[in-house]
Amino acid sequence: MIQRVIVLTSGKGGVGKTTTTANLAVALARGGHKVVAIDADIGLRNLDVVLGLENRIVYSLVDVIEGSCRLKQALVKDKRVENLFLLPAAQTRTKDAVKPEQMKALCDELREDFDFVLVDSPAGIEGGFQNAASGADEALVVSTPDMSAVRDADRIIGMLESLGKSPIRLIVNRLRPNMVREGNMLDVSDVLDILAIDLIGVVPEDDNVVTSTNKGEPLTLNSTSPAARAFDNISRRLIGEEVPLLDVESLASTGFMARIRRAFGFKG
């Protein structure tokens, strides 16, 4: 077994950590790996609804840590995909209910049984993030290509580095190809220049993300929409496959010829 514990983080909130965790968890499980997704956003749980498992929750991560139930009892098994489990957060508690050592012990226990443990962290650099990161070996930093998100991502990367997480890789989410083409959005190469970490994938802005969340069916379950393909590719890069960047992903610097073609009215 590979047994990797990966935390999904961001400095700024709302950039897509939960969406990414859900989609990667499903994609990895569909690829034959045994996966557990942990919702470490205690008090503000969301991963359950994004995964569409909210009605099946009995116990939470806090119950396990406090010894009110066994770990196996708290794991919610997804019926749509083999090998996919959710360890939900408690909704009525605060992040203080958990200590980093306890989170670490929990991740180590899960490591015994799973190929991938994905930890959905709350935003920010405080207790909730420290808890979520404590059990992880590696990290995926999610950022949208805007000023505040990138700035805050830089802060989080610094903290992950000092916690010794490795590798730390970047996912650029909600890229809008049209705005990049017009030169009105930071492109992927800009973000990489600034943050100086490895890129593992780029997810375009995609309305299907919203509708799939409405239905509680992550895109990677069955869709072939642009975001679904991007998440799928990231999951394959995670297991070491060499997957070339999608068009939208490589939509970095647009060359001179492309600009000429566009100026003449050809599509870029």
Ligand X SMILES: Nc1ncnc2c1ncn2[C@@H]1O[C@H](COP(=O)(O)OP(=O)(O)OP(=O)(O)O)[C@@H](O)[C@H]1O
Return the residues of window 218-237 that contact ligand X according to CB under 6 A: 227
Q: Contacting another protein (CB under 8 A), which of 126, 182, 207, 241?
A: 182
Angle formed by the axes of helices 207-215 and 226-238, nearest 10°: 80
For residues 219, 221, 226, 231, the Cα torsion angle rounded to the nearest 10 degrees is 90
Q: What is the rounded distance in angstroms from the CA atom of residue 32 to the CA atom of residue 90?
A: 29
Q: How far is the CB of 89 from another protein (least distance, A)?
A: 30
> Between 1 and 194, whose beta carbon lies closer to another protein?
194
Q: What is the rounded distance in angstroms from the CA atom of residue 112 to the CA atom of residue 224?
A: 33
Residues near Mg ion (CB under 5 A), total: 3
Q: Label residues 237-267 b or e (16+ Cβ within 10 Å = b).
A: bbeeeeeebbebbebbebeeeeeeeeeeeee
Contact 123, 12 (CB under 8 A): yes
Q: What is the rounded distance in angstroms from the CA atom of residue 43 to the CA atom of residue 91?
A: 4
**Residue facing Mg ion at closest CB distance:** 18
Among 32-40, 73-81, 226-234, 260-268, the segment contacting another protein (CB under 8 A) = 260-268
220 in contact with Mg ion (CB under 5 A): no
Which element (helix H / strand E) includes 200? strand 198-204
> Between 41 and 115, whose beta carbon lies closer to ligand X?
41
Sign of CA dihedral 18, 20, 23, 28: negative
Q: Contacting another protein (CB under 8 A), which of 35, 185, 202, 230?
A: 185
Q: Contacting ligand X (CB under 6 A), which of 33, 45, 95, 174?
A: 174
Q: What is the rounded distance in angstroms from the CA atom of residue 207 to the CA atom of residue 23?
A: 15
Residues 113-152: x where in contact with another protein by CB under 8 A, - otherwise, as a string: ---------------------------------xx--xx-
Query: Residues interacting with another protein, by CB under 8 A?
Result: 146-147, 150-151, 154-155, 157-158, 161, 180, 182-187, 190, 193-194, 196, 259-260, 262-263
Query: Residues interacting with Mg ion, by CB under 5 A?
Result: 17-18, 46
Query: Residues interacting with ligand X, by CB under 6 A?
Result: 10, 13-19, 41, 46, 122-123, 173-174, 203, 205-206, 209-210, 213, 227
